[in-house]
Amino acid sequence: MTLEEALTLLRDKRPDASAQGEAQARLDGIAKPLHSLGLLEDMVVKIAGITGSAELDLSKKCVVVFCADNGVVAEGVTQTGSEITALVAENLSKGITTVNRMAACAGAKVLPVDIGVAREVKGPLCRKIAFGTKNLAVEPAMTRQQTTAALEVGIQLAGELKQEGFSILATGEMGIGNTTTSSAVLAALLQIPARQVTGRGAGLSTQGLERKIQVIEQALALHRPDPGDPLDVLSKVGGLDIAGMAGLFLGGGVYGIPVVIDGLISGVAALIAQRLAPGIEAYMLPSHQSAEPAGELVLSALGLTAPLRCGMCLGEGTGAVALFPLLDMVEAVYRETSTFAEISMEPYRPLV
């Protein structure tokens, strides 16, 4: 499916209100105080609307980790070099990274995808658009055609995974320099100063942070990305990993499969998707509020509230995977807990 076809389909698509109503009624009939599981109950209703069924089944989970390099690393905005992207991408395939261990505990598959690593790597699914992006400090990171192609990779993966029987997806990323690209995209989309959305990433000194802010400011002044054109913003100062994740969010809406947002970088991808297809946030589940300075800001821009505040900023999809056990718990409550009628108890009533 092309990006244009996806956006056309999403223009008139909405979650299933009937399934949402049925799920809400079932939750309200469970023998417990009304809405006492808070945001987790809201997620059950949301998932029912996304899938079009009140019969929840989140048993087959997958976190899709988009791996890509960023040319802006040449500007000294990171503590480590680009070679780490390829190393971690291969380790994701070997099952030895942090998200692999967390996903194993949560019963989820990890699918690493090489969408733009700067060299050939063994193990990840190869959907490479380019060998990394250009240096956004001196030229546009990508062409508009590359950006569109990367978005379409995400859309197509959502469809493939749905066909394989996965019932919920999570977004992850691996790419040295991608807190720089995500901060640049967010500053451009929200038209706010780079300093307000830029953090230390994987670990920068105060001097390094100042350099990072300066580079982002320089790129925004040079390229003048149009906040009204998400593809323009993404192609000029974004990254292939962000584009892939944005496509996965769009694919979630197209194929009726919930997609979990990870942290800041994933959140920026979600915001790109929302700007391309207003209302697509109805198919997204927030997981945690990133420890990055703009973590709360990006969720607010999406109109979403994350249930977890763990102070995490690791990436790889770790925060998104951390939501899975909570969803398993609320699914068990939803499917297996006695109702008021079954235990002959007077149900709770909404208070005015």
Supply φ then ψ for residue 65, to 5 degrees: -105, 110
By CB atoms closer than 10 A (0-12, 13-18, 19+), residue 281 is buried
For 187, the 3-state DSSP assignment is helix
- The amino acid that residue 115 corresponds to is I
Distances 223 to 72, 172, 340 between C-alpha atoms, Å: 14, 27, 61
Q: Which of 173, 292, 316, 331 is catalytic?
A: 316
Q: Which residues contact 57 (CB under 8 A, 6 or more apart)?
A: 167
Q: Which residues contact 303 (CB under 8 A, 6 or more apart)?
A: 281
By CB atoms closer than 10 A (0-12, 13-18, 19+), residue 125 is middle
Q: Which residues contact 211 (CB under 8 A, 6 or more apart)?
A: 75, 76, 77
Asked about 316 being catalytic, the answer comes back as yes
User: What span, in angstroms and rounded, lies between the C-alpha atoms of 320 and 304?
Assistant: 14
Q: Catalytic amino acids?
A: 316
